[in-house]
A and B are shown apart, each in its own frame.
Chain A
Amino acid sequence: MASIHAPSAEDVMQRLRPFGLFFEKSLKDLIKGIRSAGENPEDLRQVMNKALSECREEVSSPDLNLKTNAVLKLTYLEMYGYDMSWANFHILEVMSSSKLQHKRVGYLAASQSFYKDPDILMLATNLLKKDLKYDGNNDVLKMAVTLSGLSTMVTTSLASDICDDLLTMLGSSKPYIRKKAVAALFKVFLQYPEALRDNFDKFVAKLEDEDLSVVSATVSVICEVSKKNPYPFIALSPLLYEMLFTIDNNWIIIRLLKLFTNLSQVEPKLRAKILPKVLELMKVTSATSVIYESINCIVKGKMLQEDDHDSAFICLQELNKFCSSPDPNLRYISVVLFYQIGKINTDFITEFNVLVIRLLKDVDISIRSRALELLEGATDDENITTVVHILIKQFIDKDVVSATNLFRQAGSDGVEIDIPLSYKVKMVSTILRICSINNYSNIPDFDWYIAVLSDLCVISQDLNNDTIGYQLGDELRNVMVKVPSMRKKLISNIVSLVLSQDVSQSMPMVLRECYWCIGEYSNLIDDGDDLIKKSIKLDRLPPDVLQIMAQALLKVFSSWCNMTNPAPVQEIKSVLQGLLRFYESLSSSQSFEVQERSVEFLEFCKLCDESLEQGDEELPLLITDILPSFFNSYSLNPILHGTQRKLQDSLMLDLDTPFLSEEDVEKLLQEESSKNDLDSLLASDLELDLESDNEPGPNDDRKGSSVGDVEEEITFEARKSLEEKRRKERSDNPFYLEADDSALQKKASQLIEFDGEEKPSDLRNVDTFELSTAVVKRGDLKKKKQSKKKKAQVLLEEGLPDLISSHALASNHPRTGSFSSSKDSSTINLKMQTKLESFDFHTPQISPDATKNIGIEEQQELENLRAKFAAKSSGNDQNADDEVVIVKKKKSKSKSKSKKKGSKKHASEPQLPLP
């Protein structure tokens, strides 16, 4: 029966294929293979690799069915993370097939795989142009497939080319086509805004289409476009407002609300008109999503004025209801909105503190974390203890949420949830913020607050977060400085904190400020010897702590030696020995600052040690007078953040005029030698105590000047000349101001000029590395007021008059920084870059000359591409030749022109004829 017409084996295979009889591995086989490989990663990899290599072969076969099948398999494999961009040219071939079956697969693969590959996109553009040629009786479905695939492929040149076709489709008799065309136009507008400008009316007319789904698509496109550039649509507001009344489809209403949100952000006149309508809508509707969107619209559309308590109350009532709902999604979104409303005016949310406290115990951490942000507005001196108590109790790894908070019947068990680290960090920061808000006006009892701070220091150890450590340290220091009545109590807390092994090991960041406090208020410490002995045993401290600690310990030593009942000399000696060893060990530190300070202190301690050797009964003057005079001349007052820097900026130092003329110096020296001042006292002291070849003390040599002449041998005769030399040195040093010499002081302050007209009365020379180096009091110093009688006095921060305003500005944004989730380089940004944002719709443009050159270049480029493509798919070149279309690119020239005019336009926005 052999006939010449008998089909060959290949033909048979070909014909059977549509019935699902494949002789190649089908997608089904592939999926089955993957599934049977199961969880074993080795097997799975083998199956995948085999499949991939098969696909590689099949995809370059000339048979389009086979190719399609391979592309489909690749699309599947892509979900497992296998790159398929190498097959992009083959995908293009499949897309260009005339059969829907192939086209569908092709477009699917294209939408998954094409990514900003300019070569591919250029070829795809031509293909799409062909597919979208609209002549009135196209195949509806083919069109649909193409339009759906458009999303990842629209380029500017494609957009300008297909927009005419799409606009024709708007007039199609089939709603399906109209709808798809409207949606596709969105992508076109993004890339090619001119299309919207030139066809604005035609497009907007679709708002009144008889088919609701077309209207819906149009509203949603307008809404999306208005997000980028709302101005052209403001004129539509009356029509849209009308629609808000007439349409009862919730989907469209929500879209309209979104649209109004965008519009009223830029058009203040709209806000007053829309607000009553939105409020009314909220009352009427039963759909939660519409209520939510209404509130969203009010808040984000800036319709809520700062003093509009009524509208705010209505919104918050609704949100309050949502927050009590068993649906966690509702709770979450309403907490977010609560925060938005609170940002407008914190007074709005104060009465909802019960709710906020309940949300802090929510089962969902993300809701809790949002509720934390609300706390700032919702806490007062009444509830702050409760709130902080709740938060501190959550410092555990697993929290059990009670049944009532789960919206279940009482009696059933609670649920255990994990508390993530990031939430704990946020909690600590929040506690610190709500407590310190308004200069501690919320704190009912500072005893309690100090206990909280100590607790926080202990529990924050495990958080392993440096920022928290620094924040806690700052807070301790602030309380220390600002609340004088609590210093005694706080310092003992700090001392025990510093000496705790755990804290020093895991949270050294907090130690820095602690040691600063210890040093500054060392006179409040009774057992300084104990503190010193224990502190010097702490090891592995970071250098920035050591540099503060080195100094603090000397201050502690100074205060301890000069207590009212001084310790026996023997004890002082032993403590001093300890200090000597400590500074000795630090003097080879790698950190420059630590090394410098410890060397200085070491030398001074050596001197003290020697002077102690002399007299057995009485303490030498070096310890009783000179050492305290280093530190205790002035008390520190809190100053505004940044004051010091401002001061330094505005400080003009006259470095040229000498402090004293030659005669002045002469006169002064004579006076000085006759006067019984500190220097001569010391000199006589030294004369008496030390043998003549001993080194004299470094007099009143301050740390700041660090003159390296301590070890120099000076005879008594040389002393005078040396003193003069030093004085000269000092006068050259701008940071050296003789604090206890009134004559010099006066001169010095005259040399300092300020940019502003504020009059500094007092400039102090404190150690440069400490918080408040220079404190400038205003002439009329603010009265330190007590906010409430029962509360401890909290000192106000002092600052330069012109600084206060700028500081207040800065503190208006307390959230910037610490909380904004750390954005690393790998952050994925969803924002699309489009040309729409800066586009002006009012200027008709076109400068046709500019097109030509670019057109030629483009064509050349296209030719090159073709050659490349032809080389790649040598077997199959069916679509290489028949689509030579010159790609016109929009010129940037016309756009920059329109941008310029854009700024003018917004100034004169037409009055809106709203009903």
Chain B
Amino acid sequence: MVQIKYMLMVSRQGKVRLMRWFSAYSAKDKTKICRDLTTSVLARKAKMCNIVEYQDHKVVYKRYASLYFICGISSETSNELLTLEIIHRYVEAMDAYFNNVCELDIIFNFSKAYDILNEVLICDGSMTETSKHTILKTVASMDALETSDNLDQVLS
């Protein structure tokens, strides 16, 4: 099964927009991975394949508009094609939530992007929810709960 070790979202300029680590890394490793992958992925041409070998594992990336979604997966046990599919599902979910998502949406609502990611991928980095509808429902109910929290606060 696909087990994603980490997911990065990087802009075309090489700015990190989101990073989620599904197991513990030291800060040094994190920066190294970010730096290495950003340079190697951004250098690749459109016609090249979306799988890069990096150190002891594989990296699957996909570009959507100005954003690169980069996933580190273990090379023996993961299905590269499914990883691409997961990235796609995630993008679809964000697209539906933000209604035509663009990079700015993600920059300003980065915590929402994380929330959606948490619904798509469970803590071990495998896909839990494939239905866009369910994901949106959960995120929406979380938002509703937050608002009511706030409302409580105001009314108090």
Contact = CB atoms under 8 A, between A and B. Distances in A.
B136 interface: no
A79 B19 contact: yes
A223 B85 contact: no
Nearest to B13: A39
A19 B16 CA distance: 29
A31 interface: yes
A224 B1 contact: yes
A72 interface: yes
A96 B103 CA distance: 32
Given A251-B130, A329-B49, A79 B17 contact: yes
Contacts of B128: 179-180, 183, 213, 216-217
Contacts of A289: 79, 81-82, 85
B115 interface: yes
A364 B149 contact: no
Interface residues of B, number: 69
A332 B138 contact: no
A835 interface: no
A108 B24 contact: no
Contacts of B26: 115-116
A562 B31 CA distance: 68
Interface in A322-374: 328-333, 363-367
Interface string A403-429: 000100000000101000000000000
B150 A101 contact: yes
Contacts of B72: 830
B33 interface: yes
Contacts of B146: 100-101, 104
B27 A115 contact: yes
A288 B56 CA distance: 26
B65 interface: no
A328 B81 contact: no
A183 B108 contact: no
Nearest to A332: B49
B129 A213 contact: yes
Contacts of A184: 122-123
Contacts of B1: 219-220, 223-224, 254-255, 258-259
Interface string B47-61: 111111101110000
A31 B127 contact: no
Nearest to A176: B138
A224 B126 contact: yes
A415 B111 contact: no
A75 interface: yes
Interface in B88-147: 107-108, 110-111, 114-115, 118, 122-131, 134, 138, 141-142, 145-146
Interface string B1-31: 1010100000000001111111111110101
Contacts of B80: 329, 332-333
A108 B49 contact: no
B50 A329 contact: yes
Contacts of A213: 128-131, 134
A149 B123 contact: yes
A827 interface: yes
B81 to A, nearest CB: 4
B32 to A, nearest CB: 7
B67 interface: no
B49 A79 contact: no
B138 A366 contact: no
Contacts, number: 197
A592 to B, nearest CB: 40
A76 B18 CA distance: 9
Contacts of A183: 122-124, 126, 128
A329 B51 contact: yes
Contacts of A367: 49
A840 interface: no
B67 to A, nearest CB: 13
Given A363-B47, A363-B48, A31 B107 contact: yes
A176 B137 CA distance: 12
A416 to B, nearest CB: 9
A83 interface: yes
A832 interface: yes
B108 A28 contact: yes
A197 interface: no
Contacts of B49: 328-329, 331-332, 364, 366-367
A76 to B, nearest CB: 6
Contacts of B111: 72, 75, 104-105, 108
Given A101-B149, A179-B128, A366-B51, A148 B118 contact: yes
A683 B134 CA distance: 104
A138 to B, nearest CB: 13
Interface in A142-169: 144-145, 147-152
Contacts of B115: 104, 108
Given A333-B81, A830-B72, A151 B124 contact: yes
A300 interface: yes
Interface in A90-121: 99-101, 104-105, 108, 111-112, 114-116
Given A28-B108, A328-B49, A293 B79 contact: yes
A873 interface: no
Nearest to B144: A141
Nearest to A114: B24
Nearest to B125: A151
Contacts of A105: 111
A826 interface: yes
Interface centre among A176, A259, A823 (most CB of B within 10 A): A176
A332 B51 contact: yes
A227 interface: yes
B115 to A, nearest CB: 7
Contact of A141 (B27, B77, B123, B138): B138
Given A15-B154, A28-B108, A186-B124, A100 B142 contact: yes
Contacts of A76: 110
Contact of A300 (B76, B108, B153): B76
B84 interface: yes
A890 interface: no
A658 interface: no
30 contacts: A19-B154, A31-B107, A31-B108, A79-B16, A104-B111, A104-B146, A111-B21, A112-B21, A115-B24, A139-B145, A147-B123, A151-B123, A152-B21, A213-B131, A217-B126, A219-B1, A223-B1, A254-B82, A289-B85, A293-B79, A328-B50, A329-B50, A364-B48, A366-B48, A827-B56, A828-B32, A829-B55, A830-B5, A830-B23, A832-B23
Q: Which 10 A-B pairs have the closest CB atoms?
A: A18-B150, A151-B123, A328-B49, A183-B122, A289-B81, A332-B49, A148-B118, A364-B48, A220-B1, A255-B1
Given A112-B20, A224-B1, A829-B55, 17 more contacts: A18-B150, A111-B20, A116-B26, A141-B141, A148-B123, A151-B123, A179-B129, A183-B126, A224-B124, A258-B77, A259-B1, A289-B81, A329-B84, A821-B53, A827-B55, A829-B56, A831-B56
